[in-house]
A and B are shown apart, each in its own frame.
Chain A
Amino acid sequence: MSVLIFVENWDGKFKKLSFELVSYGAKLAEMYATEAIALTIGNVESSELVRLGKYGAGRIIQAVNPGITSFDSQNFTSVIAGFALQENAGVVVLSNNNTGKAIAPRLSVKLKAGLGAGVSKLPATISPFVIYKKVFSGNAYANFIIKTDIKVLTLAQNSFELIENDRNAVISQVQVDWNSAGVKTKVNEVQKQDGKILLTDADVVISGGRGMKSPDNWGPILEFAELLGAATACSRPVSDEGWRPHEEHTGQTGKIIAPNLYFAIGISGATQHLAGVSSSKYIVAINTDKDAPIFSAAQYGIIGDASKVLPKLVEAVREIKGK
């Protein structure tokens, strides 16, 4: 038995999320007293592969085939399922990001393996296998038992700390079958925004709501974010109005994020907004209304007008950072 961790790579590179997954999979493997195997698909330099070993993977498999030029959920599922069977995996771990959400459900059916989607903790026990997850968009939680021999889990991003544990992992490159004719989804074009801190990856997020009054008032938010190395976000009406791009919309119907620190500025804190941000470790709210529901979700708050408070905050950070 083993724990198989599917680790995505972005143009041959890993990021924090990859190491969170490996840390999680390695801890899970410890619960079973077995080995954690990290699997990635596509070309990755060995200097990059080695990095996965620092977080407790005993083996690292790189699956390659010249035909693999883009993501395809059916073929990726087949490759991962193949390794799951070959390595006698008891648990397959993926990220609960776009890619993981595309593969995990297919894998669950293919392996007839119960799926625990969006877990943020290790299972309470492995026999029975009890997982804990958010339900009703964060208004409640639930424990579920996965009853099948093989389990598939997707791990919520930013929910598990990195645990360094270098095992001198053995790296192998394996040529896999890739059914090019079976690729029924063809990527015609990729549009990338380079250089921006991704909202889902960010440790600190500065978010503005309708209380910012106008798109012209975003200057201090952008400046504040820049100073803190933060990503920017917004509430739904702000993106609906076109004040900010859609990628920034957080909440139930937008992005669900879990940064260490979330600044909600001029955001009332509607249930649907909180559904996307309530897993943040710290929430700071700035709002003119002392009764705004956002203050019940926040650890720190300032009751005040954002147009007056924000410039002072920017000033304070500048001073502390000596900029």
Chain B
Amino acid sequence: MKILVCISHVPDTTTKVKFIDDFKKLDSTGIQWVINPWDELSLTRALELKDDAANGVTSVSVIHVGPAATEPTIRKALAIGADDAVRVNADPKDAYYVAAQLANAIKGDAYDLILCGIESSDYNGSTVGGMLAEFLGYPSVSSVSGVKLENGQVVVIREIDGGKEIISAETPLVAVVQKGIAREPRIAAMRGIMMARTKPLKVVEPVEVDALTELVAFEMPKPRAACKFVDPENPKQLIELLQNEAKII
């Protein structure tokens, strides 16, 4: 069983984003880049599955579409424990473009289980995993909150409205994962950081693909009106405001 984890490289989740070039470009000054939180959790789960020898996981690889500047993020994934990595040497243009590059880079490699995060915290699209599955013609399960391996089959928990489904899936499979997949992200130990330097990182050149969408411009959220404070001794006033002013209860 070979597992592949798709990694997105995103600004740290506390970043106050700013834009340049007439709001057409993210201002990357001072931004600390991290592995997308869900991808970090998928990687953690993949490594947990590999740790249990009974699962027969032979390798955990990571793949990322991004220019050379994103390599520290990939090295971090290797330091956490991935065995090898692939970087498609391209600037992501949109989700369709990224998924097409991923599909092209991995076709012919026999990954049995491909894990993608439910969304990337930059464009919040929830799109790449499902697109990749369709490009490859693989089945996919989305909203996955648990993965285990049983007799060569992948068993996943899918979150549905008001419950869960336990699904057994044939491989190869793309699982689009979310909360629950792993508890805490695994962090790199010193030994891992040393070893990461020499682990294989293959660079693949992109294929010609047209993006289907195009950014017009970013906007900052509209500031909210100032908060109206209610006397803590008289919370009834709050209920009255919600009823008569906001008219929502």
Contact = CB atoms under 8 A, between A and B. Distances in A.
A142 B17 contact: no
A169 to B, nearest CB: 25
Given A114-B213, A142-B215, A147-B213, A299 B17 contact: no
- Which size class do B's interface residues fall under? 35 or more
Interface string A100-132: 011111101110111111100000000000100
A228 interface: yes
Nearest to B160: A98
Contacts, number: 269
Interface string B119-154: 001111111111101110001111101000000000
B142 A101 contact: yes
B37 interface: yes
A108 B236 contact: no
Given A142-B219, A282-B246, A113 B212 contact: yes
A205 B163 CA distance: 19
B124 A115 contact: no
A73 B139 contact: yes
A142 B130 CA distance: 22
B33 to A, nearest CB: 13
Interface in A155-191: 184-191
B187 to A, nearest CB: 16
Contacts of B133: 73, 105-106
Contacts of B141: 73, 102, 185
Interface in A265-323: 270-272, 275, 278, 281-282, 284-285, 295-305, 308-309, 312-313, 315-317, 319-320
Contact of A108 (B96, B158, B215): B96
A34 interface: no
Contacts of A104: 127, 130
Contacts of B124: 117-118, 133-137
Contacts of A260: 248
A74 to B, nearest CB: 6
Contacts of A102: 130, 140-143, 176
A70 B158 CA distance: 13
Interface stretch (A35-43, A49-57, A61-69, A193-201): A193-201
Contact of B242 (A72, A108, A284): A284
A228 B249 contact: yes
A249 interface: yes
B161 A142 contact: no
A115 B170 contact: no
Interface string B92-109: 001110010000000000
B11 A105 contact: no
Contacts of B94: 114
A101 B229 contact: no
B243 interface: yes
A299 B230 CA distance: 11
Interface residues of A, number: 100
Contact of B163 (A74, A193, A281): A193
B14 interface: yes
B167 A187 contact: yes
B15 A139 contact: yes
Nearest to B236: A316
Contacts of A10: 161
B180 interface: yes
B130 A105 contact: yes
B212 A312 contact: no
Contact of B221 (A116, A140, A271, A316): A140
B226 to A, nearest CB: 9
A312 B168 CA distance: 49
Given A136-B17, A137-B13, A271-B14, A101 B166 contact: no
Contacts of B236: 312-313, 315-316, 319
Interface in B162-202: 162-170, 173, 176, 179-180, 183
Given A105-B130, A106-B140, A139 B221 contact: yes
A147 B130 contact: no
Cβ-closest 6 pairs across A and B: A105-B130, A304-B232, A114-B212, A102-B142, A316-B236, A109-B134
Interface of A: 10, 70-74, 77, 96-99, 101-106, 108-110, 112-118, 130, 133-148, 154, 184-194, 196, 198, 200-201, 203-204, 228, 240, 246, 249, 252-254, 260-261, 270-272, 275, 278, 281-282, 284-285, 295-305, 308-309, 312-313, 315-317, 319-320
29 contacts: A73-B133, A73-B141, A73-B142, A98-B159, A101-B126, A102-B130, A102-B176, A105-B128, A105-B134, A109-B135, A114-B96, A136-B17, A140-B17, A141-B219, A141-B221, A145-B214, A147-B214, A148-B212, A187-B166, A198-B162, A200-B161, A253-B37, A275-B121, A299-B224, A300-B228, A302-B232, A303-B232, A305-B232, A316-B238
